Amino acid sequence: MQRRQHRICKPTACHRVIATVALAMLSPCTVLAEPWPTRYDAPTAKYAEGSFAGGFAYQSRSYSILCSEKLSAGRVNEMATVAESVRGVLESFPLELMPSTNGARERAVIRIYPTQNDYLKSGGPAGSSGFFNARSREVMVSNEYLIEPKGHRSNLEPRQRYRLLVHELVHQAMAENAVLLPLWLSEGIAEYLSSAQFAPGRYRFNESARDIVNHLRTLWLHDRQNTITLPTIESLIQMDSRAWATDNRINKDNAYAKYAASLLLTHYQFELAARGRGGLAEFLAAMKADVGKFKSGRSRHYGRLAVDQSLLWKDRSPEIVQKQLADYWQSKGLKLTFALPSGAKPAK
Ligand SMILES: [Zn+2]
């Protein structure tokens, strides 16, 4: 769960404290330009087995799954179905999450490494077990962590879900657009879809809060606690990849906290902040226009194109967003507290 590209956003208007913004925005919106998905069920993917210089190749319509060891038919079937589902589920949202496609594209590559050691030797970043390499555009995952151990979450996890694979495939599918996304939003969308997938290639969005709580319990909290400490929203929305990597390194035991905060903040943007009518749609459209400018060579510097995050927050300060998140998740059984991540500098 790491990414290399991004830039620092400088929140401006979102720092203004407007105390009158109330929880009214948390009420469900009734007017949507396009329907919000409640489910997405991908068909079972077909694939052909072949070989490449390094081992076995399994090719579905849009993906090549490569592994030095032979994988079982059932496993490949599930992984190909998961892979083929990701673009479809991203496209099912009334938001510009995906880059525009022009004609046929080459199959995207997923490299499966039999062991964690193989994964690390092949360039997987230390401390991770899955990675989207923005340079090669390939997803790399360790097979040891791809399969969630049975009984890990008892009867809450009756099906294999490939959460890690979904996370990395979302980065791969969004890569072209994601160069201008704030890191928290890129990681949050990857975790949001990972938490919504309840069986290979099948997603539901009508029970998100419950699914997110279960996701956090499976990956992070287990049965330890209901109180969780997250990085402050102000620090999270400014984190760049260097700060993210530093936190992964120095805050090993709780490195997932920033992914959890990114997930809750993405859920807030997707489901609580007036959905497609809110700032997210506007922000993504502005970002896409800037990606276009970058590609056409009108700007060679991402930083100069950074879309102002205040589009996302309107007049809500980070403190108000924290209060809204805390109130909402308290009602779902999670008590949130916020603290500066270790090593972070307090804002001036
Ligand atoms: Zn990630």
Report pLDDT digits (tens) over 257-278: 999 999 999 999 988 775 545 6
- Count CA atoms closer than 13 A to 106's CA, side-chain side: 7
Per-residue confidence at 147, pLDDT binned at 50, 70, 90?
A: confident
Tell me, in angstroms, the distance from the centre of ligand 1 to residue 225's CA: 25
* Rounded distance from Cα 19 to ligand 1 centre (Å): 33
In the reported structure, the alpha carbon of residue 169 is separated from the centroid of ligand 1 by a whole-number distance in angstroms of 9
User: What pLDDT does 145 receive?
Assistant: 81
CB under 8 Å to 34, separation ≥6 — which residues?
A: 94, 276
The model carries a pTM of: 0.84
How many CA atoms within 13 Å lie on the side-chain side of 131?
21
pLDDT in tens, 121-141: 999 988 788 999 988 999 999
pLDDT in tens, 7-25: 323 333 332 222 223 333 4
Residue 28's pLDDT is what?
Answer: 41
Domain ranges of the chain: 13-339
Say if residue 5's pLDDT is above 50.
no
CA 20 to centroid of ligand 1, rounded, Å = 35
- Residue 171 Cα, ligand 1 centroid: separation in angstroms? 7
Query: Per-residue confidence at 41, pLDDT binned at 50, 70, 90?
Result: very high
pLDDT tens across 53-106, in order? 999 999 999 999 999 999 999 999 999 999 999 999 999 998 888 877 666 678
Tokens of 310: 């205040």
Residue 169 has pLDDT above 80, yes or no: yes
H/E element, 288: helix 279-295
- Ligand 1 centre to CA of 250 (Å) is 18
